[in-house]
Amino acid sequence: MARRCASALGVVAVPPQISALLTPEQLLPAATVAALRRRLRAYYRAHRRDLPWRRSRDPYAIWVSEIMLQQTQVDTVVPRYEAFLRRFPSVQAMAAAGEQKICEAWAGLGYYRRARLMHQAALQLVAQGSTTLPAAVAALRALPGIGAYTAGAIASIAFSLPAALVDGNVERLLSRHFALSAPPRSGAGKRLLWGLAERLQSRHAPGELNQALMEVGAMICRPRQPLCGRCPWQRSCRAYAEGEPHAYPTAVAKAPRQKLFVAYAWAVDGDAVWLTRRPRAALWGGLWELPSAQGASAALARAALQARVGPTKQLLGELPHTLTHREVRAQIFAVAAPVQAPDEAWRRSAQPLHAPLHTLARKAIGLVLARARLGEAA
């Protein structure tokens, strides 16, 4: 990438280590704000993707799309979003459906906690006598599952309130444009990013401005290959002037992941297999899986499983799984089926992959079923 001189472009060059000491007002003077907004909006109007949720100003529809888009790719969300809205077209329809039905409609999107919290929020709204979402950031944030980003998105897009937002795409775009040395998830980084996003906000079409920020972050200022030649902010971008877009956002040193061992029971009962529902307060709370036990080693996890379900027979498979803070090693053992369900958190399932499973449970069941089809196990 060609190195450019920031000062020749009328931009104050700031050494990266200094940027963390500056305030949003110093990094983004009032005289520059209007030009940045204008260039963002012009890009968005000419190049924005035609996505189904962009055709709606319905707060409920915007809410559903924003929750689905957290941690899930746009291409995966598009068909699910339309099907979900056909099945649950309003806050009342979502509240009237049981949590189980919402989780079933969520299948394929992952991170089911988002669906459960959305259902709780719908119940809360209906209990308050509301037919839609509130038109205020503080009231939105008081609902389960709605954080600062989602509240900003709903408030600005659905209600035209000048509310700022910062998602991963905005983080990257702002970190590079202003060459921020503070990691985005650090206290200093968050303060700077939110401060800059607030300074960029305007009373005129705030939803459009936020969507323009996210669109340029997603489509132009891409993580691996930023398209600086097509960027509306290239002339004033400090990372581009340094020739170092990839140096931003800066990273925080990660703590090593904890190791966790899980033993699963594969208890076949006729044409079904036994599943259990995890306790609400636990990791993957409320989702289904094979009966399980955990331990600090594979042997301890197996011993704990035997204490729960009886003797284990052969090992049917094992697999690794990585969580944000944990490295999981799972083993699946054949066991005898229980004579009857030990409690209401147990059930037989002839189609276990259709149950609302967490990701590791889905992988474990898929592994045993695939091997059974190949005649290797079960």
Residues identified as active-site: 66
Check residue 205 and give left, alpha or beta (phi > 0: left; psi -120 to 50: alpha): left
As a whole number of angstroms, the longest Cα–Cα distance in the chain is 79
> At 19, phi and psi to the nearest 5?
-60, -30
Shortest approach of ligand SF4 to residue 52 CB, angstroms? 26
Nearer to ligand SF4, 246 or 259 (CB): 246
String of DSSP letters for 38-68: HHHHHHHHHH----GGGG---HHHHHHHHHH
Shortest approach of ligand SF4 to residue 239 CB, angstroms? 5
Residue 205's SS3 state is: coil
Among 150, 169, 210, 234, binds ligand SF4 (CB under 6 A): 234
Binding mask 195-224 for ligand SF4 (x = CB under 6 A): -------------------------xx---
Provide, for the chain, the percentages of residues in helix, strand and coil under a 3-state DSSP scheme, each rounded to the nearest 5. Answer: 50, 15, 40
Shortest approach of ligand SF4 to residue 171 CB, angstroms? 12
Nearer to ligand SF4, 107 or 247 (CB): 247
Cβ–Cβ < 8 Å for 365, 352: yes
Shortest approach of ligand SF4 to residue 240 CB, angstroms? 4
Q: Does 240 bind ligand SF4 (CB under 6 A)?
A: yes
Stretch that binds ligand SF4, among 95-103, 138-146, 230-238, 283-291 (CB under 6 A): 230-238
Q: Does 226 bind ligand SF4 (CB under 6 A)?
A: yes
Among 233, 266, 274, 333, binds ligand SF4 (CB under 6 A): 233
**CA-CA distance, 179 to 250, in Å (whole number)?**
9
Taking CA atoms, 105 is separated from 87, 163, 358, in Å, by 8, 30, 14
The four Cα atoms 27, 32, 36, 39 give a dihedral, to 10 degrees, of: -150
Contacts with ligand SF4, residue ranges (CB under 6 A): 173, 176-177, 220-221, 226, 228, 231, 233-234, 237, 239-240, 245
